[in-house]
Amino acid sequence: MFPNEGMEEEEVLNELRKKTALDLTFNSGKILGSMCTYPHLLARKVLWEYLDRNLGDPGLHVGSQTVEGEAVEMLSNLLGLDKGYGNIVSGGTEANILAVRAFRNLAGVEEPELILPKSAHFSFLKAGEMLGVKLVWAKLRKDYSVDVRDIEDKITGNTIGIVGIAGTTGLGVVDDIPALSDLALDYGLPLHVDAAFGGFVIPFAKALGYELPEFDFRLKGVKSVTIDPHKMGMVPIPAGGIIFREKRFVEAISVPAPYLAGGKVWQATITGTRPGANALAVWAMMKHLGFSGYREVVRRTMKLSRWFADELKKIPDVYLIREPVLNIVSFGTRNLEKVEEELKKRGWGISAHRGYIRIVMMPHVRREHLEEFLEDLEDITSSRL
């Protein structure tokens, strides 16, 4: 009910505290299945200071717009491009929708089709439905990466583009993006890489010596990349990133907003009014941590993933779905649903996919949390369910 009279601030806050007491918090150590994390303190400070900035009206907040541009430039550089075009958006969903929208608008075919791996995130279901694009699903190989030959078989005159994934949602698998890039070039199709998760992992993991394929603009067929600062970038929600190789992709999705403070401006995002503070926080985190800072975060989370995977193998009845590629470890077990239910009863914030449980080694996850989890898992799987 809409309150007639207002409440005291302290009372309001207390009521909120009570209502959110059931929420799991990242610093409790119980959240093991999320791709988000406790935001870095600097990012929190930036949000507090710039909460009023609106990138939907950049004429008012000219400085913030410049900062967003610099954040896009830094992300482009990280992804192997001197100058990229795009925006800090609300997340991977918006970024993926924008890429599909650009491909569709540029293709100009009547019955547009997008070819994407079976492992693609459900955000593409939204994109397909909203944009009237038919989704053509490509098979996965035994190692859960997309079958490039199956993609080739599915190309038709209606194909508007191809999607590859660098860090799948369920298993953290990186598709053979170099082969997809070659294929895209051969057929004159644009390739979109969904690196919502992997974008803030793979460049650093490669620098640490992990063997991973190229996945970004260093490959000529790659025309757009989704990279989310609100996942491994440690920026508060909402902060996604969409980067295009060429300006024409952004132009293809821009609409005029003629009456704003900056005169006639063009908007290429889905949201109109949108948080400047989060874009500033993306900028601030990259400036603050730098490549070496993120590399150290990735070093720790990758090491922890390998240790955790080895520990899982020691538990009878528990098996890895595949060796971890990034900092995601997924496992199966007998009576999975019951095990999942029991783990949740014991307070674990896990995410159960089709046939396995996914643990994401985010920066807030510590070895002691995992040791506790392993004990619970062993206890549950050894009891007769």
By CB under 6 A, name the binding residues for ligand 0PR: 34-36, 91-93, 96, 121, 123, 165, 169, 194, 196-197, 228, 240
Q: How far is the CB of 381 from ligand 0PR (least distance, A)?
A: 24
Using alpha carbons, list the distances in angstroms from residue 102 to 30, 199, 255, 347: 39, 20, 12, 42
Q: How far is the CB of 241 from ligand 0PR (least distance, A)?
A: 10
Cis peptide bond upstream of 324, omega within 30: no
Give the residue from 101, 116, 102, 121 showing the smallest Cα distance to 150: 116
Give the residue with the Cβ less far from ligand 0PR, 96 or 381.
Answer: 96
Query: Which neighbouring-strand residues pair with 54?
Result: 275
Give the residue with the Cβ less far from ligand 0PR, 196 or 380.
Answer: 196
- How far apart (Å, rounded) are the C-alpha atoms in residues 76 and 315? 43
Q: How far is the CB of 296 from ligand 0PR (least distance, A)?
A: 23
Count CB-CB contacts under 10 A for residue 145.
Answer: 23
Give the residue with the Cβ less far from ligand 0PR, 72 or 89.
Answer: 89
Q: Which strand (E) or helix (H) includes residue 106? A: helix 92-107
Given the structure tokens 């298993």, which residue do they identify? 171
Taking each helix axis from N to C terminus, what angle separates 41-49 and 276-313, rounded to the nearest 10 degrees?
160
Q: How far is the CB of 238 from ligand 0PR (least distance, A)?
A: 7
Give the residue from 204, 198, 199 showing the smallest Cα distance to 292: 204
Using alpha carbons, list the distances in angstroms from residue 359 to 153, 172, 225, 304, 305: 34, 10, 24, 11, 9
Q: How far is the CB of 196 from ligand 0PR (least distance, A)?
A: 3
Q: How far is the CB of 34 from ligand 0PR (least distance, A)?
A: 3
Give the residue with the Cβ less far from ligand 0PR, 96 or 327.
Answer: 96
Give the residue with the Cβ less far from ligand 0PR, 93 or 381.
Answer: 93
Give the residue with the Cβ less far from ligand 0PR, 93 or 145.
Answer: 93
